[in-house]
Amino acid sequence: MTDSPPSPTQIKPDDQRPEHPDFWCKRFGEGFTPWDAGKVPDDFAAFVARHPEPLNTLIPGCGSAWEAAHLSEKGWPVTALDFSPAAIERAQAVLANVAVDLVCDDFFKWQPPTPPALIYERAFLCALPRKLWDDWGRRVATLLPSGGLLAGFFFICDQAKGPPFGILPEQLDALLRPNFERIEDKQVSDSIPVFAGRERWQIWQRR
Ligand SMILES: C[S@@+](CC[C@H](N)C(=O)[O-])C[C@H]1O[C@@H](n2cnc3c(N)ncnc32)[C@H](O)[C@@H]1O
């Protein structure tokens, strides 16, 4: 038996569906952004500090884009991407005069002019409904060339209701192991309350 498609009354409005930009625009518009660290997380700052050579970096679902400002100040080429115009407006305010390629587009459709060497992950995968996770895994693998890095913060837990949607270690492995090798994995010590105790810093290298 196949599931029947949802009736119009079962479909939620766009601002209640995290796969839609309106969901995020509503929250940025109301100033309700509990995921926003308001700073560059320590593990990412340390990662940047120990890489003397700048990496062409993509930040999907950049939100306020604190990390983009940090990278640009260090001379790294960075594209900060978000499909919510309100998020882009917020990022523009944070970035002020910092030179960052700020793009309003959908991560699953956007085509990079040059391939990134690093994709930085923070609160993007956990913002995506589970039905998009396989697409995310394929997309990061397609965007990164061999040797490229996917580095950042993963919300590792069984929290089904979200966002943030928790991911179990075996679910993350299933998404990434076919194309990546995990080369770093550690508990995060400066998490903000929504992620505290359930956030890991990981680096995955594209085979
Ligand atoms: C939870 S917020 C995280 C923002 C930022 N990474 C941070 O750490 O503060 C998730 C962001 O992803 C964006 N987003 C969700 N789906 C997207 C998609 N398909 N393409 C681009 N951006 C997306 C949302 O607009 C939102 O700004």
60 Cα to the center of ligand 1, angstroms: 7
133 lines ligand 1 (CB under 6 A): no
Structure tokens at 13: 């409005």
Q: Angle 66-73/42-49 helices, nearest 10 degrees? A: 20
Confidence at residue 5, expressed as pLDDT on a 0 to 100 scale = 65
Strand, coil or helix: what is 59? strand
Q: Which of 70, 83, 126 to mutate to test the pocket of ligand 1 (most atoms within 8 A of CB)?
A: 83
**Given the CA of residue 24, which atom of ligand 1 is nearest to it?**
25
Is any atom of ligand 1 closer than 6 Å to the C-beta of 122? yes
Return the closest-CA partner of residue 122 out of 54, 33, 56: 33
Stated pTM of the model: 0.95
Contact between 25 and 86 (Cβ < 8 Å)? yes
β-partners of residue 195 are: none
Write out pLDDT tens, residues 73-108. Answer: 999 999 999 999 999 999 999 999 898 999 999 999
8 Å CB contact between 153 and 41: yes
* DSSP code for 92: H
Tokens 């039905």 sit on residue:
131
For residue 60, is pLDDT > 80? yes
The mean of the pLDDT values for the chain is 95
Of the residues 20, 22, 24, which should be mutated to test ligand 1's pocket, given the most ligand atoms within 8 Å of the CB? Answer: 24
**Predicted local confidence at residue 1, as pLDDT:** 43
Q: Mention every residue, 6+ apart, whose C-beta is less than 8 A from residue 17.
A: 23, 129
pLDDT of residue 9: 62
Residue 121, beta-bridge partner list:
152
pLDDT level of residue 2 (50, 70, 90 thresholds): very low
Residue 112 pLDDT greater than 90, yes or no: yes
Closest ligand 1 atom number to CA of residue 106: 20
For the record, the structure tokens of 41 come out as 């997380």
Q: How far is the CA of 33 from the centre of ligand 1 (A)?
A: 11
Atom 13 in ligand 1: which residue has the minimum CA distance? 61
Task: Find out whether the beta carbon of 152 lies less than 6 Å from any atom of ligand 1.
Answer: no
Tell whether ligand 1 has an atom less than 6 A from the beta carbon of residue 62: yes
Domains and CATH numbers, the chain: 35-206 (3.40.50.150)
Q: Give the model confidence (pLDDT) of 152-187 as tens digits.
A: 999 999 999 999 999 999 999 999 999 999 999 999
Pairing verdict, β 180-187 and 101-104: unpaired
**Interval between CA 148 and ligand 1 midpoint (Å):** 22
